A and B are shown apart, each in its own frame.
Chain A
């Protein structure tokens, strides 16, 4: 029992962080049809934004967070407007071209951060707070923040998508762009909005991530790769799938770490995704035609 509780706590923290990142990624994919591989870059941009505000300029935590989120949103909007929208306007854009472009953007972001901040990891140990013991389970202040904040954010996010007019418009563009245009939804605006929202989520995740796991530029690729596996496991384009995919992958990761070896967690999580995709090519919750 103790073991199970401990495993659950090991699953929840990274699971929720990745759920937030993957949910934004899924939203951009379903609305714009672009695999936003630069999303991991947006996450670490937010992390370094926070580092700049909090550690370099000694701002209070709230204003540093606002700075980080603002930078993340601007980065995401810039990527969409200057790269994806432009490529759309050029007409013939291959799937390979799109993917290669987003990978390039990710590497550009990562290398710019490397050039500015260097490769040494940045730590925010003082923000992790005191340690609390709940029986066999141990959480820091920061981890409690994650446990409370992310579920609230995800619920708000899903409610906004389901209930508001804008959310319905977003989903209409995701379902069928041309039809949505016909009923008067400006799909270009919706694509911008999707990138804005996903970058907002990535921004928050970036701050929480940096405090929990430290920060270095090479994390961009790692976060992106892990994010896509969790998202396609659940079914790209489905927000619920992103959450489910993140939590189930982290479960496998925790079990691998416990029964086998921590070194092999990426290997086993990839294997999980691969096996699921062989059985269900669209992921666990993915609908047909979401990802072909």
Chain B
């Protein structure tokens, strides 16, 4: 049924919308090159999946636990990386992503390793796709409102100042570490939420569900839609969730080649946007130049 398929896509769109907003908060508004983002999604997803399958806790408890754990770890990472900047920071965070992946793959007794976790339950009331769509739509709306409010408040202005000129913002008395920690924790919690929702929707996760390919997917969303833009992120999520399905509908190819072609299209899209329209469709900011410290 085509309608079921559309509902399926809309759910994915809503979940990735939440993820995109979380990533954009750190990258677009915060100026933090958060290449460890998928790690936080993974933590949310695994926490909720394990709590609901192994320990049979209610799904909502699992989701909230996933959010809390992702937020805590994100905050902890924030404390550890506070003296590191720029490229080194980006790489450390990429390494964090890689580490979470490696733990998921090798901590067999808890994560079942490469086999992944099957049979993750849906929430009782939202068991079918339509009802699940209702749930995630509400959550996306709440997240959007929250992010809009956050970034259009005076707190958002402070965040922008820290992104643009950290030292000047501090000389103006803005407590940088506290602001960055809040961003880490909020973004971590939202990433955990998106990850947990994804786990309960797809009902299966494995370490590869949260790795570089998915990172590039979410990065593409916010670079295409626009850095530091709420509507941009939503539009980006919409375009990017529909795009691969278009390819699947119109082109008939064997599945492993299809996967490769999807990978090529996402990466190429991201590359072209970064090269020729770094602000994205609705983006509002230019991030500091990579060569600034050279001149």
Contacts and interface: CB of A to CB of B under 8 A. Distances in A.
Interface string B78-121: 00100111111011101100110011011000000000000000
Q: Count chain A CB atoms within 10 A of each CB in B95, B268, B276, B293 and give the residue with the most.
A: B95
A255 interface: no
A103 B102 contact: no
A114 B290 contact: no
Interface in A184-199: none
A83 B275 contact: yes
B274 A111 contact: no
Interface size class of B (residues with CB under 8 A): 35 or more
A289 B87 CA distance: 12
A119 B208 CA distance: 15
Contacts of A229: 91, 95
Nearest to A222: B98
B102 A266 contact: yes
Contacts of B271: 83, 101, 104-105, 108
Contact of A232 (B91, B223, B260): B91
B260 A115 contact: yes
Contacts of A88: 291
Given A94-B290, A225-B94, A103 B264 contact: no
A95 B90 contact: yes
A261 B271 CA distance: 38
Contact of A97 (B86, B94, B213, B287): B287
Nearest to B295: A178
A125 interface: no
A97 B290 contact: yes
B137 interface: no
B219 interface: yes
B212 interface: yes
Given A92-B286, A264-B106, A281-B88, A103 B256 contact: no
Contacts of B33: 95-96, 99
Given A35-B87, A99-B33, A114-B256, A104 B290 contact: no
B21 interface: no
Q: Count chain A CB atoms within 10 A of each CB in B85, B98, B213, B286 and give the residue with the most.
A: B98
A92 B212 contact: no
A185 to B, nearest CB: 15
A94 B278 contact: yes
Interface size class of A (residues with CB under 8 A): 35 or more
Contacts of B290: 33, 93-95, 97-98
A213 B268 CA distance: 29
B103 A267 contact: yes
Contacts of A95: 33, 86-87, 90, 287-290
A94 B287 contact: yes
A289 B261 CA distance: 40
Contacts of A7: none
Main secondary structure of the interface of B (DSSP, over half): helix
Contact of B212 (A103, A114, A263): A103
A291 B263 contact: no
A263 B260 contact: no
A7 to B, nearest CB: 21
Interface in B253-272: 256-257, 259-261, 263-264, 266-268, 270-271
Q: Count chain A CB atoms within 10 A of each CB in B90, B103, B290, B295 and give the residue with the most.
A: B290
B256 A119 contact: yes
Contacts of A266: 98-99, 102
Contact of B274 (A101, A177, A232, A291): A101
Interface string A105-132: 1011011101100110000000000000
A35 B261 CA distance: 25
B11 interface: no
B152 interface: no
Contact of B88 (A90, A101, A267, A277): A277
Nearest to B270: A104
Contact of A104 (B86, B267, B276): B267
Contact of A108 (B80, B99, B267, B294): B267
Nearest to B291: A33
A270 interface: yes
Given A101-B271, A108-B264, A292-B87, 6 more contacts: A88-B291, A99-B87, A100-B270, A112-B260, A119-B256, A267-B102
30 contacts: A33-B290, A35-B91, A83-B271, A93-B278, A94-B286, A94-B287, A95-B290, A96-B33, A96-B90, A100-B223, A103-B267, A107-B212, A107-B263, A108-B263, A108-B267, A110-B263, A178-B295, A221-B212, A232-B88, A232-B91, A236-B88, A263-B102, A267-B102, A267-B106, A274-B92, A278-B80, A281-B83, A281-B84, A282-B88, A292-B85
